[in-house]
Amino acid sequence: MESALPAACFLYWVGAGTVAYLTLRVAYSLFEALRVWGVGNVAGVGPGLGEWAVVTGSTDGIGKSYAEELAKRGMKVVLISRSQDKLNQVSSEIKEKFKVETRTIAVDFTSEDIYDKIKTGLAGLEIGVLVNNVGMSYEYPEYFLEIPDLDNVIKKLININIVSVCKMTRLVLPGMVERSKGAILNISSASGMRPVPLLTIYSATKAFVDFFSRCLHEEYRGKGIFVQSVLPFYVATKLSKIRKPTLDKPSTETFVKSAIKTVGLQSRTTGYPIHSLMGSINSILPSWMYFKITTGLNKSLRARYLKKNKKN
């Protein structure tokens, strides 16, 4: 009987220690959630980092909302996208609404010979924020070898989703390092968190953006540069083909207002509280379950698309 007492005492303290540890973890998680999603870093992004913000893919969706939010905070904005007509329209809207200076650079990010033109357009500007937003996905989920015009799709996805991030960073980062301040916000995707079958190339390119951002942040945070990887789930955009915002699929305006407050607080973020919860659940799912759910969903979307478009 006496010999059982030390064992019982040991188990008691193990149990008490476990409860205390879990309590502290929960308390810390709640504190972090309040700090990030409740308070946020409202003053973290603005002209104090530099006069100008540069946003790629800035005429629609998340890119346009980042451009508007940065202009609202008093930053001058360089809008970079493919269509000069759309650029002119968005530029006029921002000038009229926020009373800030804008510039436009019309380039097609599927090409690789555009960066000298961008470099010339950015020459002499004090750039405090770069938003690498331009991106491309599949038209619909598809098996790798069955993607229509596969070679061209490979080239486009790599140029738009990977090369643009590296090249734009190469152009803007030296000035930030020289001034010891700046923020680079790279828009990845929840599809870059874990592999997504039937969106293979897109998922892989967005994983690259995430890893690139995290590595760059560690390399340059000691030099005053904050690099953020933004990994949203679905947002109501043309790219996602979602028209009506919901609680878990916010409008681009709602998403960006939330995401921009995480700059300086989270170098890797989903940008939105509901997406943060979804990301936590996503990360703890066993691989077999995750792949079963994800593959099944994309097979269903593929079948629906092919049926609608009468493809075999």
- Per the structure block, which two tokens stand in for 281? 């659940």
Nearest to 33 by CA among 201, 265, 199, 298: 265
Residues identified as active-site? 202
**With contact defined as beta carbons under 8 Å apart, do 162 and 109 qualify?**
no
- Output phi, psi for 187, to 5 deg: -85, 105
- Per the structure block, which two tokens stand in for 85? 């007509």
**3-class DSSP state of 154:** helix
**Half-sphere exposure of residue 290, counting CA atoms within 13 Å on the CB side?**
16
DSSP string across 26-63:
HHHHHHHHIIIIII--TTSSSGGG-SEEEEES-SSHHH
What is the DSSP-derived secondary structure letter of residue 202? H
Task: Measure CA 140 to chain center.
Answer: 21
**With contact defined as beta carbons under 8 Å apart, do 260 and 228 qualify?**
no
How much of the chain is in helix, strand and coil states, percent to nearest 5? 55, 10, 30
Q: Which pairs with CB-CB distance under 8 Å and at least 24 residues apart come from 238-242?
A: 238/60, 238/61, 239/61, 239/135, 239/136, 239/137
Q: Which pairs with CB-CB distance under 8 Å and at least 24 residues apart come from 243-248?
A: 247/274, 248/274, 248/275, 248/278
